[in-house]
Structure 1
Amino acid sequence: MTYPDYANLKLDWPAERVLRITLSRGSANALDMQMHRDLADIWRIIDNDRDVNAVILTGAGKFFSGGGDFFDLEPKIVADAEFRAMMWKDAKDLVRNIIECNKPIVSAINGPAAGGGAVGAILADVSIMARSAKIVDGHTRLGVAAGDHAAIIWPLLCGMAKAKYYLMTCKPIYGEEAERIGLVSMVVDDDKLEETSIEVATELARGSPSAVRWTKYAMNNWLRQAWPLFDTSLALETLGFTGRDVREAIASHQEKRDPNFDPDSHV
C-alpha cells in the first residue's frame, strides 16, 4: 500500500506489521486544516492495507497534540460559513473513520492532548498514557460545546459524572487520574511509553487478525449506537462558532487574559 507524502504525519514501522503514525507539526503538533483532513483520511487507507495488523498513534516531541491550531482555524470557523461546514464534515469523518478502521489502534499519549487533538488518543482501542502527560478538553473555555469526540466516548469510559465535570470545567486530567477513572487503558512512566506501546501493538499484531478485528467491530457497536449523541454535540459545537462567546474567547486568548462571558445569556 502506498501512502501519500504527508506534511505533518510521520510514518514508520517500529515492529513487524505495526504502523506508527507520529503527529508532527510545530512545537505542539496543533492541527491545521490539511493535517486534520489527513488524519481523518489515513484510517481508510490503513483499513485496506494488508501489511498492517496494528497501529500506534503518538506525537512528536513534548506534545501529543495541542488540538486545533487556534490562530489558523478559529478565525476562519467564526467568519466563514463554508469553512465551518467543511470542518464539521472533517470532524465527523475523523471520528467515524477511527471507529470503522478494522485494525486495532494503540495511542501512546506522550504529552498534552487537547480538544480535537485528543480524538485519536481517547478513541484508540488501547490508550497508553505517560505519567506526566495530560488530557484536557478545552471547548467550553473556547465558548463552544465539547463536540469533537467527547459525547460519544467519555461517559462510556469514565461515567457521566466525571465526564460532565471535566468537559464542562476544562480541567486537565493527568496520567494517574486518567487511568484511575478509566479514561485511558493504562499509565506508564514516561521513559517506558514507547517501549510499552510497541509491546502492546506487537501483541495485537501477532494475534488472530479476524478475532481481534471482529472483537473491535462488535465492541464499537456501543459507539455506533451513540452516534446521534456525537452528531448533536458536534452540531452544537459548530453552531457555537457563530456566537459571541467564541469571539470573546479568541480575544481573551490573544490578549492572554481570562474570558469575560456574558452571564445573562439566554441560550
Structure 2
Amino acid sequence: MNYDHYQHLTFERRANGVLLIIIDRPERANAANDQLHDEFAEVWRTIGQDPDVRVAVITGRGKAFSAGGDLKEHADPAEALSSERVLRSGRVALDIVNNMLNLEKPIISAINGVAVGAGLAIALTADISIIDEDVRITDGHSRLGVASGDHAVMLWPWLCGMAKSKYYLLTADFLTGREAERIGLVSKAVSGDLVVKEALDVADRLGRGPQRALRSTKRALNHVLRLAAPAFELSVALETIDFYQDDAKEGIAAFREKRPPSFPSAPPSPARQEPSSDG
C-alpha cells in the first residue's frame, strides 16, 4: 500500500504489523484544516486495505495530539461558515467515526498533548486510548456555540456514564488525562514520556496475537456503540444547523480574537436592583 498521497499524516512501519500514524501539522498544534479533516476519515479505509497492517497507533507531532478544527484556516469568517463547507464538514465528521468503527483492525491512540474537537474524536474513538496524565482535553463545542457533534453524544455515555457526559459536554470544562482515566473516558493514563512507548508496546502485543479473534471481538463490541448511532446522526445534524446561527458566529469570532464570547442567545442580565432603605 502507498501512503504518499497523505499530506498531513506521516507513517512509520514497525514490527509485527504495527503502523504508527503521526498527525503532522505541529506549527498549528496539529489542528485539522480541510485537507487533514478529510485524511482523518480516509486513512482508516486505506489501512483496511493494507495487508501488512495488523494494528494502527495514532499520535501527534510535537506537543499536541490535535487541537481540533483549524478555525483560522480561512481569513474570511464568512468563508469558514459557507453552506457548502459546513455541510461537507458534517459528512466528514460522520465518516471519521464510522470508518474507525468499521475498521476491523485495532486502533490505539497515544494522546501526547491537547486533544479537542475532531482531534478528540480520533483520540476517543480509538479502541484503546493511552493518554499523558497531565494533558488537558475538552470536547469544546459549546465554547463555540454549537452542539457536540463530532463523536461525544455517541461515545461518552458508554465510556464514562451519562452524568459525567452531561457535565463535561455542557460546560466544556477541561479535564486532565489523570481525571479522564479515573472516570473511564480513556483506557490508561501514564507519564508523558511513556505515552507513545506504552501505546506501541500494547500494539506490538496485539500484533502478535490471534488476529481473527481480536477483529471479531472489536466488531462485536462496536455493535454496542452503534446502538447510539441515531443520537450521533442527530448530534451532527444539530451541530450543522447551529453553525448557521448567531451564537456560532460570535463563538468563532471570539476564538479568533482570543476573547470571551458574548453569545446573543444569552444576553447580559440587567443589574440587580437593591431594595431602598425605606422600603
TM-score, scaled relative to structure 1: 0.95
Q: Indicate the SS of the match to 2:65.
A: coil
The match for 1:185 among 184, 187, 194 is: 187
Per-residue CA deviations over 1:147-168 (Å, capped at 9, x if unaligned) read 0000110010000010111111
Contact 2:71 2:256 in 1 (8 A): no
Matched, 1:250 2:233: no
Counterpart mapping for 1:54-65 below 5 A: 54-65=55-66
When the two structures are aligned, how many residues end up with a matched partner? 264
**2:35 and 2:266 mapped to 1: Cα distance?**
38
Structure 2: 5+ residue runs without aligned partners?
Answer: 268-279
**1:135 and 1:9 mapped to 2: Cα distance?**
21
Query: Displacement, 1:3?
Result: 2.0
The residue aligned with 1:52 is: 53
The residue aligned with 1:2 is: 2
Q: CA RMSD in A?
A: 1.4
The match for 2:79 among 76, 80, 85 is: 76
Counterpart mapping for 1:213-232 below 5 A: 213-232=215-234
**1:84 and 1:150 mapped to 2: Cα distance?**
19
**2:231 and 2:80 mapped to 1: Cα distance?**
22
**2:59 and 2:266 mapped to 1: Cα distance?**
42
The residue aligned with 1:22 is: 22
Contact 2:117 2:150 in 1 (8 A): yes
Matched, 1:235 2:237: yes
The residue aligned with 1:197 is: 199
**1:203 and 1:150 mapped to 2: Cα distance?**
29
Counterpart mapping for 1:108-187 below 5 A: 108-187=110-189
Contact 1:77 1:241 in 2 (8 A): no
Query: Displacement, 1:47?
Result: 1.1
Q: 1:250 to 1:14 in 2, by over 3 A?
A: same
Contact 1:27 1:61 in 2 (8 A): no
Q: Which has the larger radius of gyration?
A: 2
Q: 1:69 to 1:232 in 2, by over 3 A?
A: same
Query: Displacement, 1:77?
Result: 4.3
Contact 1:15 1:198 in 2 (8 A): no
**1:76 and 1:214 mapped to 2: Cα distance?**
44
Amino acid at match of 1:9: L
TM-score, scaled relative to structure 2: 0.91
**1:34 and 1:256 mapped to 2: Cα distance?**
25
Amino acid at match of 2:7: A
Amino acid at match of 1:157: L
Q: 1:53 to 1:241 in 2, by over 3 A?
A: same
Per-residue CA deviations over 1:160-184 (Å, capped at 9, x if unaligned) read 0101111111111101100000000
Q: Indicate the SS of the match to 2:11.
A: strand
Query: Displacement, 1:76?
Result: 3.1
Contact 1:126 1:185 in 2 (8 A): yes
The residue aligned with 1:37 is: 38
Q: 1:199 to 1:31 in 2, by over 3 A?
A: same
Counterpart mapping for 1:256-267 below 5 A: 256-263=258-265
The residue aligned with 1:66 is: 67
Q: 1:136 to 1:75 in 2, by over 3 A?
A: farther
